[in-house]
Amino acid sequence: MATSSVVKLSASQHPEFYVSGITAESAEAASKLLQENHDQHHIFFNESGYHNHIAHHLLTIFALGASPSTLKKQYDANKSYQRPVVALERSVIDDMHDPDRFKSYLGKEKYYRDFLVFFEKEIEQKGWENVLNEYVFAGDERAEDLLVRMYAGFLHPIIHLGFGVEFQQPAIIAEALAQAAIHDTWIGRFLLPAEEAAKKINVSKSKSLVELLAEIQADKKLSTAADWDDGNKIRDGLLKRAPNEMIKYASRYSVQESELDEKVAEMTNTAIYYTSSAQNPKKLIKFDFYYMHCVNASIFFSTFLKQGWLSNANKARILEWKGRLDLAMYASRRSPDLLIDEVTNYQPKNATKDASESWASIFERVRNTDDDGHAAKLVRAVAHGQVISEPYEGKDSFKVKKDMWLKLGNMVIDSVEAGEPRWVRSAGFSQAWDSVPERPRAQL
């Protein structure tokens, strides 16, 4: 049985997106490896705050049908550079029960394990659903602070939370809460003002994300606000040089409780649209590393919609925050041209002239490729995007449709297998493409 400190997967589970034929042996192997990661590794693998993706990776390829040997191989490849957990401070854990003292430990990575044990105990006593409603969704000062932190670090805490909820693993949820607690809150300087501004706009004036992408690109002050040398292109670029403009466009995106399913599909489709279309026609196909996180997080909003313990108001709110952050992410990479023909005209490297490789083949390739989890998450999120977008493909706000999905799956795995650099970082800047090889003449 899965508990707040024990990972226990089952072959009978039904994650948000998975392949048939998951075995009990794979569930047992994944559980054992995830438990070792939970017990022995810090959530950051270095002191610069780079994230431990082992849980993301193993859960993704488990859902995509990885064998026990594949799970072990991928785990071993990524455990070698992880940091060990630090010693517990029992007095700190006790101190965290005082809300005022709780605040004093936030944002400090050395307290990760203390937060982890604290949340394990809270979940053990109250249940993970109640803990999430109390610490993240209650709307009080503490919960608002932790909700903001969930969106920090390029969405890593809420991605981690999504995995925990999707696979019904309280121990992974405890990791997510502890991870959020040691992140910073500067993204709140964008999300909270955008939310307040949105309250003053008539809901009938809300726009689709695709419309807002076009408006952002046309606004030269905003679309060029980030500089190549900015340490963080949202914090040091957009929010310093064009904060009012960014908040203005973000506030025009809103979600009503009556349209949650369609809005999750639209957010997912749009994130995949701009991530896949931000290409340089003279260079090999590469996906932007930062945009990719917006896609990889998208699948979990489908999971969140299915949670009866989470209010519809909170479902709408967290989706609004996700859509607004996606808009900021697009702008922060210099709002590149979105070349959808790069997808529609794509010819997979291993396909016949008339057909792309199948999803089954793509899943097999991504399960076995050298990866820290990013590629596998991207493939699964795209495959899931196809499923939830299909009912809405006739709408103008859904740019990815029909045979584009399988082409996209092939684009992802082909680009990863093509060698370094595996990703392009900040696709709207010409400098980002300098190290990417040129396309063969036959593809130009």
Instruction: Write the pLDDT tens digit of every residue in 267-293.
Output: 999 999 999 999 999 999 999 999 999
Q: Distance (Å, rounded) from C-alpha 102 to C-alpha 108? A: 12
Regarding whether 263 and 363 lie in a shared domain, the answer is yes
pLDDT at position 432 is 98
Whether the pLDDT of residue 353 is over 90: the answer is no
Average pLDDT over residues 50-68: 97
pLDDT at position 352 is 57
More confident residue, 276 or 44: 276
Q: Distance (Å, rounded) from C-alpha 323 to C-alpha 100? A: 32
Q: How many domains does the chain have?
A: 2
pTM above 0.85, yes or no: yes
Whether the pLDDT of residue 184 is over 90: the answer is yes
Q: pLDDT tens-digit profile of 379-391?
A: 999 999 999 999 9
DSSP reduced 3-state for 324: helix
* pLDDT-derived band at 45, boundaries 50, 70, 90: confident
Residue 426 and residue 334 in contact, taking contact as beta carbons nearer than 8 Å: yes
Roughly what angle, to the nearest 10 degrees, separates helices 112-126 and 170-181? 140
Whether the pLDDT of residue 354 is over 70: the answer is no
What is the signed CA dihedral for 293, 76, 384, 324, rounded to 10 degrees? Answer: -20
Last residue of a domain, one of 151, 184, 217: 184
pLDDT at position 50 is 85
* pLDDT-derived band at 33, boundaries 50, 70, 90: very high
Q: Read off the tokens for 61.
A: 């390829």
Q: pLDDT tens-digit profile of 398-411?
A: 999 999 999 999 99
Regarding whether 246 and 124 lie in a shared domain, the answer is no
Last residue of a domain, one of 152, 184, 216: 184
Average of per-residue pLDDT values in the chain: 96
Range of the domain at 166: 1-184
Regarding whether 141 and 16 lie in a shared domain, the answer is yes
Q: Which of 8-22, 81-95, 169-183, 345-359 has the lowest mean pLDDT?
A: 345-359
Q: List Cα–Cα distances, 40 to 54, 82, 260, in angstroms.
A: 12, 9, 39
Regarding whether 249 and 331 lie in a shared domain, the answer is yes
Residue 204 and residue 316 in contact, taking contact as beta carbons nearer than 8 Å: no
Residue 394 C-beta-side C-alpha neighbours within 13 Å? 1
Q: pLDDT tens-digit profile of 60-87?
A: 999 999 999 999 999 999 999 999 988 8
Task: Output the CA torsion sign for 357, 358, 360, 363.
Answer: positive
Whether the pLDDT of residue 351 is over 90: the answer is no
Q: Read off the tokens for 343.
A: 């997808």
Q: Which of 88-92, 294-298, 388-392 has the lowest mean pLDDT?
A: 88-92
pLDDT at position 204 is 81
Last residue of a domain, one of 128, 152, 184: 184
Regarding whether 210 and 130 lie in a shared domain, the answer is no
Regarding whether 168 and 194 lie in a shared domain, the answer is no
Regarding whether 262 and 238 lie in a shared domain, the answer is yes
Whether the pLDDT of residue 187 is over 80: the answer is yes
